Amino acid sequence: MVKDLECYNGWTDLGIFIYFDGELSLDDCKGCSTPDPDDENVVAYYLELPCEPICESVAQSEAPVTSLAGVSAPDEAECHDGILLMLKDTGGDSMCEYSTEPFLIEELDDSGSNEVRFSFTNNWDVSLDSIDLYYDRGDGLGQQCQSLNSLARGAIYPNPLAAACNAETQMAEIEVYISDRSISHASSLGQCGDNGAGSCSYVYKIPCSTDVACDYERRLESEEADEFERNNESDDTPYCVHKDYPCKGDEEYMVFVCHYSSQAGYQTFCIPEMDSDILRFNENHHCGPCDGWNGLEQNDQVN
């Protein structure tokens, strides 16, 4: 049975009870109720689940599906210094390849301005006939074309630019169109640029804050992995050791642990010591019984 669970501080608690009894019938199963503390025919598992995905990156969730002819959408949007390249329409023309990301974030939306400020550099290998951007400037007119004229190779547009942030995604979408008579391809998007010249186009998403940048989740996961490795680099000793917190159970090495949930409060359980690592990153849990913890008397123990 799957039920909606209440979130508390971004997490929800889930209890799983496995009953094993040769005389137990399905009609008598109390699978949706907490087992009797003295019941020896049940194994209890308590899990904490995040209310929002923490392993799914922005790059994966924002990657579009497109059917436009000639438009290339990568399996996973390319991430460059926090900026997502969502799709590109180049036709494989070498003139459309650039060396490094043309955008540089100058100022995020930390002041509540609802915009992200950025600069733009011609990082293509040549001076192009024209470079145009198609985006929402935040002036109430929606997406518009803005010509950056002809920028020399390696030249930066002299004025900083600002794009409106999407209130839901906290990102700004910007389309880039380059046009030149030496380009053999013609972009199928065609929002801006010289229609008489060859063209290529690109669609980017620029974050308005650091916590939605495409490499934020990767950095966070890397830092958490490094911390976990530092905590475990000495040996494979369980978080709660049997000799310090022993209890009697179905296995040889089992330990008392004190587990907290928003619905049931603090409860003492007897679990295998190798499973005690689930307590490592939650300050509300600790090794040993709950006796005296948080000013409460020791709760019933599940042995």
Whole-number pLDDT of residue 23: 59
**Three-point CA angle 146, 149, 152, nearest 5°:** 135
Residue of 192, 205, 196, 185 lying closest to 71 (CA atoms): 185
Q: What is the band of 80 on the pLDDT scale with cuts at 50, 70, 90?
A: confident
DSSP 40: S
More confident residue, 152 or 5: 152
Asked if residue 233 has pLDDT above 60, the reply is no
Instruction: Please give the full DSSP string across 122-136, using - where no structure is assigned.
Output: --BSS--SEEEEEEE
The whole-number average pLDDT for the span 161-182 is: 93
First-to-last C-alpha distance (Å) of the chain: 26
Residue of 42, 44, 37 lying closest to 21 (CA atoms): 42
Overall residue count recorded for the chain in this entry: 303
Find out whether 95 and 180 touch, Cβ atoms under 8 Å: yes
The whole-number average pLDDT for the span 289-296 is: 64
Distance CA 196, CA 201 (A): 15
More confident residue, 262 or 118: 118
Exposure pattern of 263-293 as b/e (b: 16+ CB <10 Å)? Answer: eeebbbbbbbbebbebbeeeeebbbbbbeeb
The whole-number average pLDDT for the span 271-290 is: 85
- Ramachandran region of residue 287, left (φ > 0), alpha (ψ -120 to 50) or beta? beta
Whole-number pLDDT of residue 57: 40
Dig out the tokens for 126 from the structure.
Answer: 């040549």
Asked if residue 69 has pLDDT above 90, the reply is no
pLDDT tens for each residue of 181-212: 999 999 888 788 777 789 999 999 999 988 88
The whole-number average pLDDT for the span 241-266 is: 88
pLDDT tens for each residue of 46-67: 666 666 554 444 334 444 434 3
Find out whether 121 and 81 touch, Cβ atoms under 8 Å: no
More confident residue, 261 or 35: 261
Whole-number pLDDT of residue 37: 67
pLDDT tens for each residue of 115-166: 999 999 999 988 899 999 999 999 999 999 999 987 889 999 999 999 999 9
Please state the domain extents for the chain.
Answer: 11-52+239-302, 58-216
Q: Which residues pair with 14 in a beta bridge?
A: 47
Element (H, E) at 61: helix 58-62
Dihedral sign computed on CA atoms, order 186, 188, 190, 195: positive
Q: Which residues contact 6 (CB under 8 A, 6 or more apart)?
A: 12, 262, 263
**Three-point CA angle 64, 97, 147, nearest 5°:** 80
